[in-house]
Structure 1
Amino acid sequence: MQQKPTVLITGASTGIGAVYADRFARRGHPIVMVARDIERMQKIAARLRIETAVEIEILKADLNESADVMKIETRLRDDSNLGVLVNNAGTALPGTFIEQSSEDVTRLVGLNVTALTRLASAVAPRFARAGQGAIVNIGSVVGLAPELGMSVYGATKAFVLFLSQGLHLELGPKGVYVQAVLPSGTRTELWQHAGRDVNAIEGVMDVDELVDAALVGFDKRETVTIPALPDLAQWERYEAARTAMLPNLRQQRAAVRYQRTA
């Protein structure tokens, strides 16, 4: 029997990444876990080896460090057994934009945007040549909602959605599946990073339910999966409104409302 493709998961020591490792292992996929906290990964890996009998590999990496990103890029480029990348590693910041330091903002963008993009860039050419493979990018509904007040975090997640949609258009015809998963509030440690008490927030989803729902979308080959959205038609109308504007966005002249009158 042919071995199932290996799944590389970033941010795999806790939260969404840890549950993805569990679920893909239970599907029979070998797992490569990537995170900074090696002790946590070792505990998860030891349990999964016993419960699933699949191969679990641990790679310690800080994806805000270029050398560590390069190490994971090399693995993604060179390991033909790796068939799924789950770009999950990410963080948030406490406070408002004017309260956040430029150094912290730089690290946030580095992890949520730069590292994610570099890893997708490393693996996409190999997937395209093979005519198969999957890239799962974990975004957030915050990327659709500046009203929620997490300006830089939301901007990074808007980038993740746009990148995923763009890669779907570019790589989909080549046989590569790209999925953007947009969680709403989920019970993970991210809230601690954001300086928020998760128990004081309404409508927070359990992380197991979030990942299980995301995997339903994965199996359906959805481009965008929003586990908390009850009415798919709302997203379809949102997309229809956006695409309806496209013919009007390339005009030789400015719109009449912007033209000066005598």
Structure 2
Amino acid sequence: MTSTQFKGTALITGASAGIGAIYADRLAKRGYDLIIVARNAQRLAALADKLGKETGRTITSVAADLGNREDLRKVEHILRDNTAITVLVNNAGVGSVASILQDNADEMEAMIELNITALTRLTYAAAPGFVARGAGTIINISSAVGIAVESLNGVYSASKSYVLSFGHALQRDLADKGVRIQTVLPAATATDFWDVAGYAPQKDKPTTMSAADLVDAALSGLDQGELVTIPPLHDGDQWLRWEADRRAFGRNFANAKPAPRYAK
């Protein structure tokens, strides 16, 4: 049991296993009470019991399918009403390795509902309270395929590109209001994600990171003040250069006339 100073409450989605469960463990040990959210009520209850005994923190489990609008609204209400919440970890998500010719549109729509819609609505639910209190942290789990978009399923990659872009806009809107935004880009990580996505062998490849290493690195990045954390990228300056180029590139769009190459 820990005597770490209480730091508020962290709400973590997709918390019953994998990256979300590691975040729950690490944040509880850092002094946070937890609200852990996932579909699997039995796993959540077991995790809540384990972490409560190990850390002495108050762990509340909320069984919810964030792809279901009624369940999503339930979690939104918690974020709006519970003023003790100081951290939101938007981790819940689903992926695929299939091409457009192998997946169907209904499955892709469900992916968008979870990876984009739920993350967005929960962020919108948390942000006003954080701003009103002048403090709060939102951690959004994107993916390296949000940049390396050709690597996996196109809808999955696009959904993670959304999370990265959304994080940039949130930083612009909320940074001066006391709210921290961190976007985390894991690459291949050894979790059940790959079983659901349809490529379980990825978990055992030598280039696949453990969930514990991923989360520990992400929290170290948070401690260092990083806005975007890419744990598998060893040359951190490469991201800084790429991001600087992107921002400079955007300024070149301010032209009222088309480029000369389009002249007839």
User: What SS is found at the alignment partner of 1:116?
Assistant: helix
Q: Deviations over 1:81-112 (max 9, x none)?
A: 00100000000124212211110000000000
Match of 1:225 in 2: 229
Give, in whole Å, the separation in 2 of the partners of 1:198 and 1:243: 34
Match of 1:17 in 2: 20
Shift of 1:41: 1.1
Match of 1:107 in 2: 110
Give yes or no for contact 1:142–1:150 (8 Å, CA) kept in 2.
Answer: no
Is structure 2 residue 209 aligned with structure 1 residue 205? yes
User: Pick from 167, 176, 180: which aligns with 1:177?
Assistant: 180
User: What SS is found at the alignment partner of 2:209?
Assistant: coil
**Greater mean alpha carbon deviation, residues 198-207 or residues 88-97:** 198-207
Shift of 1:219: 1.0
Match of 1:26 in 2: 29
Shift of 1:130: 1.3
> Which amino acid in 1 is paired with 2:34?
I
Give, in whole Å, the separation in 2 of the partners of 1:202 and 1:152: 26
Shift of 1:210: 0.3
- TM-score, normalised to structure 1, is 0.96
Is structure 2 residue 72 aligned with structure 1 residue 63? no
Give, in whole Å, the separation in 1 of the partners of 2:14 and 2:203: 23
Shift of 1:243: 1.1
Give, in whole Å, the separation in 2 of the partners of 1:162 and 1:254: 26
Match of 1:254 in 2: 258
Match of 2:42 in 1: 39
> Which amino acid in 1 is paired with 2:127?
A
Q: Deviations over 1:177-222 (max 9, x none)?
A: 0000000100001101111022464410000000000000111121
Q: Which runs of 5+ in 2 are unaligned?
A: none
> Which amino acid in 1 is paired with 2:245?
A
Match of 2:141 in 1: 138
**Greater mean alpha carbon deviation, residues 144-153 or residues 213-222:** 144-153
> Which amino acid in 1 is paired with 2:54?
E
Give, in whole Å, the separation in 1 of the partners of 2:245 and 2:215: 29
Give, in whole Å, the separation in 1 of the partners of 2:9 and 2:206: 36
Q: How does 1:149-164 map to 2 (within 5 A)?
A: 149-164=152-167
Is structure 2 residue 255 aligned with structure 1 residue 239? no
Is structure 2 residue 218 aligned with structure 1 residue 214? yes
Give yes or no for contact 2:150–2:157 (8 Å, CA) kept in 1.
Answer: no
Give, in whole Å, the separation in 2 of the partners of 1:222 and 1:138: 14
Aligned CA distance change for structure 1 residues 94 and 241 (closer, same or farther; 3 Å) = closer
User: What SS is found at the alignment partner of 1:164?
Assistant: helix
Give, in whole Å, the separation in 1 of the partners of 2:160 and 2:89: 15
> Which amino acid in 1 is paired with 2:191?
T
Q: Percent identity?
A: 44
Aligned residues: 260
Give yes or no for contact 1:94–1:100 (8 Å, CA) kept in 2.
Answer: no
Shift of 1:162: 0.4
Measured on the aligned residues, the alpha-carbon RMSD in Å equals: 1.3
Shift of 1:247: 2.0
Give, in whole Å, the separation in 1 of the partners of 2:83 and 2:66: 22
User: Pick from 185, 191, 195: which aligns with 2:194?
Assistant: 191
- TM-score, normalised to structure 2, is 0.96
Match of 1:121 in 2: 124
Shift of 1:3: 3.6
Give yes or no for contact 1:91–1:193 (8 Å, CA) kept in 2.
Answer: yes
Aligned CA distance change for structure 1 residues 242 and 23 (closer, same or farther; 3 Å) = same
